Chains A and B, each alone.
Chain A
């Protein structure tokens, strides 16, 4: 996140490129693109100070459509490229765009290492639970038993829980949003961008061609109220039709309770506190298969945010300290070293 502000107010249009957007009609990526373009003007960062770096996948085409600096790199490696860029240019606002295959399969290693180093960058993980670009194989987030082109009898892989994985790598910011809830998406994008450190935002994205409806249960008007739990800072965990359900912590275990039969009131509920790591951990475990009886709703919003030193800043401090201690490097004395002799 760059700090310098701009004099002319930009609009979302300023972030649109002349390149024809090539996603399938109806793809969830369109919405995410639009929301990112619409929040950027309000961040106050100059266009030329923003860089989008992606890997490979449908989602990774994103930088071509952003009128900023951009690099469409190679499969899985966007986080590594972004790390080097942040070390070189800490003042730039760097966004990583990656898919579930890109970040959790081929790029899984770089993702966890980038997160633990806590570079100040935003990672948008477009999770469609499928390999879109390669035309529909299961991905590391596809549910068990998923029938795809490469798993005609159902997938045998147990899926990753991306936010639990990232928290396990000591992420300083984890959040979840979805392509179809645009206002919420914009809010969370803004909070991710405001976070100083690596912010990992998982976005449920519909691939209407190869995995249509994977998240319908959370986006469809009928089921959304029962299945999606929106986290609000300092507020109790409430969901359900007419806000009739809540979540309490029962000896450290989350439990759904009813608020409309007199047994519980909002005062009894778990209050969301994104600075609480233990609660955040519990929230990431709200990951049940929604078809199971008695499952917990899926949380959306900012799970966890904390402050920890950024690699690029700490490196800069070391460089400064080295100059303080030894003086600015003198190449001639480095070249001569300590032991020389002269041939006359």
Chain B
């Protein structure tokens, strides 16, 4: 029977199962294949908090959501078209995300009495009338996989492990996708075990063929390639992009990269990634704790390397005192915070933007420092590169704020060439001859930046430290006038960075109007989508996503003045909104979601409409 091919503009799928089901791998494969095909994609993995929560339980459900389209997509999607559930628990947790009339694909074996009980079902939901609103495709994936692999001499465990390939193959059929990228992936992943290569490819094809031969579908779907800007693309995750950005900054500055870190979710992947790049002279150091991690980075920076340390909120708290030291020393240092739900241990695997105030003010004394954030997974590359540039060129520690959402999310990236990246200029103090004037470690240039004076350079012997420095000489000073002057000059140095960063642009909308939505960080995609939609509905709304939070771009105040109302959606209890209110004395309104999950487009649209209404009433 020939099947009709139906065109779709965009599709959102959520894959869900036990954390041992290979859900993340399945999602990533579908993503890569779709990206290679030319779709725009955006993904959002949702990990369980425990590594191996008891099998089949609600706590153990791992999810991977992706949206792919023939148009540009900026978010992993709000509600899903398709739910793939490997067991009853995964079904229960994710059903609320599925749209009415959506498609459910289930592994029936995951709905056996034991699984049902673990998920808290008295009777199988698959037999429930409420499912009539959806299209349910029931497959005994476990059995199909076993049948496909019969006589291959594999153990039950290995057979069950490849179940996810059956589902993937099935979806590839459903969305008219090519199997070869995944087959290639399987070949590389199991190079050492030809039997597993054969098995996984067999199951993948079995899934595909099942779609073809079974009478499940009356139609297949096609999501055409997106009209992305011309160029060559790859798919990339945020943490990976951050790692590459650091390597690029190392190359463009000519400085070796030092990365001192202590493992913590969701920052560890940057450490894993960088530790693979030893042939780029990247030195990774897994320190005994976060304090040692940043202190070793300070030592490396003192020695003249591009020094970076990363953590998430709890670890950043531990680094606080040492960040203050770096501010006093006025040496380059990049501090990455991949934010997660807090306070304390909070929600380690969930996303949040609640460490902005910590970055801004979380130190003793007057200790200002630049803060940069990224807008999306691929933007982590540019943002961290900028953080390195500012740190080196302005001799200061710099915060780069990422979050779990963009760190683990992925999207297509039109990657740059090395040649197209700006170079980073490094100014180190030169050797002194006998008759040269004495070296003054805290003498500043017109940007108020001091020179980087490396050990090993003749005539530059000097001592620095955390005690207040005397103007120019850097010697210890408790002089009251000197302290005030030094506090002011350190602040002025950071403020002056505004001269070397781009002006704030609008990401959408007109330069003046009723409502301005200001965002920062990973809310970019959802605000972009919501504002676009509102504009098509005729609402007067614009969007500015701020990457440079300290100092702000010089024109931000002017830009804000062009609007009657300002709303600031954040995944926290209101942080940027306080800074904006304080800085520009405006009545900005916070839109806050603190659930460990990103905003949906509708939530932002509702907020925009409310703001618009208030403006109209006034």
Which residues of A line the B interface, CB within 8 A?
17, 19, 46-53, 56, 63-64, 66-74, 77, 80-89, 91-92, 109-110, 113, 315, 318-319, 321-323, 325-329, 331-332, 334-337, 339-344
Q: Check B317 for interface membership: any CB of A closer than 8 A.
A: no
Output the least CB separation between B586 and chain A (Å). 39
Contact (A68, B461) CB under 8 Å given A77-B292, A84-B303, A85-B299: yes
Which residues of B are found within 8 Å of A48, using beta-carbon distances? 455-461
Question: Are the CB atoms of A74 and B321 closer together than 8 Å?
Answer: yes
Sampled A-B contacts (10; CB under 8 Å)? A51-B455, A73-B295, A84-B296, A85-B455, A88-B256, A110-B295, A321-B278, A335-B248, A335-B417, A341-B232
What's the least CB distance linking B543 to chain A, in Å? Answer: 25
Distance in angstroms from A112 CB to nearest chain B CB is: 8
Contact in complex: A84, B230 (CB < 8 Å)? no
Of B150-158, B343-351, B462-470, B545-553, the segment with at least 4 beta carbons within 8 Å of chain A is B462-470
Contacts of A83 in B (CB 8 A): 285, 287, 292, 295-296, 299
**Knowing A81-B295, A110-B288, A327-B279 touch, does A341 contact B36 (C-beta < 8 A)?**
yes
- B181 and A339 form a contact (CB under 8 A): yes
Residues from chain B with Cβ under 8 Å of A69 in the complex? 455, 460-463
Please give, as numbers and ranges, the residues of chain B lying within 8 Å of A19 by CB-CB distance. Answer: 475-476
Q: Which residues of B contact A315 (CB under 8 A)?
A: 283
Interface: B17 (CB within 8 A) = no
| Chain B window 302-330, contacts with chain A (Cβ cutoff 8 Å), 1 for yes, 0 for no | 11110100000000000001100100010
| Known contacts A88-B258, A92-B455; A74 and B278 CB within 8 A of each other | no
Assess whether B417 is in contact with A332, with CB atoms less than 8 Å apart: yes
A329 engages B463 (CB within 8 Å) = no
Q: Quick one: which of B250-277 are within 8 Å of A by CB?
A: 251, 256, 258, 260, 277
Question: How many residues from B make CB contacts under 8 Å with A?
Answer: 71
Chain A nearest CB from B291 CB (Å) reads 6
Supply 20 further A-B pairs (C-beta < 8 A) apart from A48-B457, A335-B416, A336-B234: A46-B458, A48-B458, A66-B463, A69-B460, A69-B461, A71-B302, A73-B325, A81-B298, A87-B285, A88-B301, A89-B456, A113-B292, A321-B278, A322-B279, A327-B279, A329-B277, A339-B234, A343-B227, A343-B229, A344-B230
Say whether, besides A84-B296, A89-B304, A335 and B283 are in contact (CB < 8 Å): no
Q: How far is the CA of A331 from the CA of B415 in the complex (A)?
A: 11
Q: How far is the CB of A78 from chain B (nearest CB, A)?
A: 8
B233 within 8 A of A: yes
The answer to whether A322 touches B299, judged by C-beta atoms less than 8 angstroms apart, is: no
Give chain B's interface residues, CB within 8 Å of chain A.
Answer: 32, 35-38, 181, 225, 227-236, 244, 247-248, 251, 256, 258, 260, 277-281, 283, 285, 287-289, 291-292, 295-305, 307, 321-322, 325, 329, 415-418, 455-467, 475-476
A71 is contacted by which of B35, B36, B278, B329 (Cβ under 8 Å)? B329
**Pairwise interchain contact B303-A88, C-beta atoms closer than 8 A:** yes
B467 CB contacts on chain A under 8 angstroms: 72
Chain A residues, Cβ within 8 Å of B285: 83-84, 87
Contact flag A329-B325 (CB < 8 Å), given A69-B455, A92-B303? no
Question: In angstroms, how far is the closest chain B Cβ from the Cβ of A2?
Answer: 9
Instruction: Report the Cα distance A275→B321, complex, angstroms.
Output: 40
Chain B residues near A17: list those with CB within 8 A.
Answer: 463
Least CB distance, A83 to chain B, in whole angstroms = 5
Residues in B with CB closer than 8 Å to A50 are 455
Q: Would you call A329 and B295 a contact (CB within 8 A)?
A: no
- Identity of the chain A residue whose Cβ is nearest the Cβ of B281 in the assembled complex: A319
Query: Given A81-B298, A109-B292, are A342 and B456 also a contact pair (CB < 8 Å)?
Result: no
Asked whether B288 lies within 8 Å of A109 as measured between CB atoms, the reply is: yes
- Are the CB atoms of A85 and B292 closer together than 8 Å? no
